A and B are shown apart, each in its own frame.
Chain A
Amino acid sequence: MIRLYDYLLSVNCYKQRLLLSILDVPYERVDIDFYPGWEHKGAEFRKINPLGHIPVIDDDGYVLWDAHAILVYLACKYDPSGSWYPTSDPQRLGEVASWMLFAEGTTNTASAARLHVNLGYDFDLEACQAGAHRLFRVLDEHLWFREQQGQAWVASGESPTIADIALFGDVALSEDGGISRLDYPALRRWTERVQRLPGFIDMPGIFPVAKAPA
């Protein structure tokens, strides 16, 4: 069984819980005392990941870290439909890779703002917020054009991909870092679509959406 080294309030860990839930893959959770215990920086945990960060998975002895790398692995191994990581479609695969790199940017801005506000991390809050707004504006416009083409997700095509999973948490929790989404209507509609996916689970701090009309 997959073992996920996890911290409840980490967006990068939440990405794994969300994909595992959507793919309906059973797993065992190890709660790392990330804050305020800094267990992931300790000698014991560094035997698992010498870089001292989470999430990490251990899939029957195969150990992998880095949030987006784990998403790739999980989708390739546990999604028989092949739709979450579309390896058979070079163009869509390229888009997924591109937006997952973009999501590294939201980690460094929106998530960083959240860590500063919540836990007092020593980051320049205004710079993080401004950086997040620049990225959100780009993503909002992109999603608006997608909607004009009758498409709902970050990458082209009919179904969501791990790029949506990689981006969702930082967007849905942005208010936590003082980043309002009022000016991004397409972004708000997209977060609601993600929240209505079968198997969706939330993370504390994400407001539930009303169920879609039957």
Chain B
Amino acid sequence: MTITNGRRSGAATGPADPVAIDQWYAITALDEIPIGRTVRTELLGVPMSYCRDHDGSPLAWLTQDSLPAGAPVDARTLHAPLPTLADYGYLWTTVGEPDGGLFDIPETAEPDRRILNAGTFGIFTSGPRAVENFLDMGHLPFVHPGVLGQQPFTEIVDYQVEYRSSEIYAVNCLIFQPKAAAASTSGQMVNYTFRVPHPLCALLYKSTPEDDVRLDVIGLFVHPIDDGRVRAHLFNCLLDTVNTDGQLRRFQQGVLAQDKPILENQVPRQLPLDPDAEAPTRADKTSNAYRRWLSDLGMTYGVVARSNS
């Protein structure tokens, strides 16, 4: 991983939340980024643009008038380039000063892994809401019936939540799933581990039909456009020798399309950090740990802070 440019740039125009500002965010899958043509977006409300240079390396910059969407890009003429990373198949950038590089996903080094962006979806919600939904096992039988859960098997066997080197781990989450993965041919008890290494990135490790020891890794990397709108990247690092990319993506996208209307109907769009703010059915153990963790980090962007703090 290389930090191609280290200047501090957009913090003055972003939200007054150093926790949110000083992070790397996945903007778009590298192989979906046009070569030498401007794409405009926003990051934490800050207008920014990106493309790939003619050698394929990612470029990101604070949006400038001379480069409208689609305009050809010459890297030497960028007024305010942003630092970039090319990791796990995505362009990552920041409008702040992250403390080092990205979290590690050791499984991505295994040669037989299928690593792909299963899709990037715009959702009218905040980053913390999107991550909290990803961590919440309680909704699986109700929102993804017949796939990731099934009534009446709604019980989640009690599991442990741990903090390891400033990350959240929820281990030994067991649930019956009728179709746990694209490669599944029958229902099974599935063991989940959740990992939250970044305020707006979460990973889940789950048993796979194709390997008795190693685990599939599925990630949610959130690009916060602002505090009520995100682009959610579905990162896949799978053990699957059976399915085409189209079939793998169909499975993950179908799950996300079921979550989207649930997320968009949550009011407010920002995630309340107060544990008593929402009905107990939503207050899954990992979700609660995530809320507390964001609270302890001092994150204020995309959340409703605890009233008594």
Contacts and interface: CB of A to CB of B under 8 A. Distances in A.
A50 interface: no
B235 to A, nearest CB: 13
B247 A204 contact: no
B32 A33 contact: no
Interface string B248-280: 011001111110110010000000000000000
Contacts of A204: 253-258
Interface in A113-170: 117-120, 122
Contact of A9 (B231, B244, B257, B261): B257
Interface in A193-211: 203-205, 207
A176 to B, nearest CB: 7
Interface residues of B, number: 25
A175 B262 CA distance: 11
A122 to B, nearest CB: 8
Contacts of A205: 257-258, 260-261
Given A37-B245, A117-B122, A176 B250 contact: no
Contacts of B257: 8-9, 203-205
A39 B248 CA distance: 14
A31 B247 contact: yes
Contacts of B255: 204
Contact of A31 (B117, B121, B244): B244
B29 interface: yes
Contact of A33 (B120, B121, B249, B256): B249
Interface string B212-252: 00000000000000000001000000000000111101100
Contacts of B261: 175-176, 205, 207
B212 to A, nearest CB: 27
A8 B245 CA distance: 13
A158 to B, nearest CB: 33
Given A175-B261, A176-B260, A205-B261, A119 B246 contact: no
A32 interface: yes
A207 B264 CA distance: 13
A122 B253 CA distance: 21
Contacts of B245: 33, 37
Contacts of B29: 36
Interface in B61-98: 69
B139 to A, nearest CB: 14
Contacts of A34: 246
Max chain B C-beta neighbours (<10 A), residue from A117, A118, A119, A176: A118
A185 interface: no
B119 interface: yes
Interface in A40-63: none
A35 B119 contact: yes
Interface in B92-142: 117, 119-122, 124
Contact of B254 (A8, A117, A122): A8
A118 B121 contact: yes
Contact of B244 (A33, A118, A120, A122): A33
Max chain A C-beta neighbours (<10 A), residue from B69, B249, B254, B256: B249
Given A8-B250, A120-B122, 18 more contacts: A8-B254, A9-B254, A31-B246, A31-B250, A33-B246, A35-B249, A36-B32, A36-B119, A39-B246, A117-B122, A117-B124, A118-B122, A119-B121, A122-B69, A175-B264, A204-B255, A205-B257, A205-B258
Interface of B: 29, 32, 69, 117, 119-122, 124, 231, 244-247, 249-250, 253-258, 260-261, 264
| Pairs of residues from A and B, 9 with the lowest C-beta to C-beta distance, nearest first | A204-B257, A33-B246, A31-B246, A205-B257, A204-B254, A204-B258, A8-B250, A31-B250, A31-B247
9 contacts: A31-B247, A33-B246, A33-B249, A37-B246, A39-B246, A119-B120, A175-B264, A178-B124, A205-B260
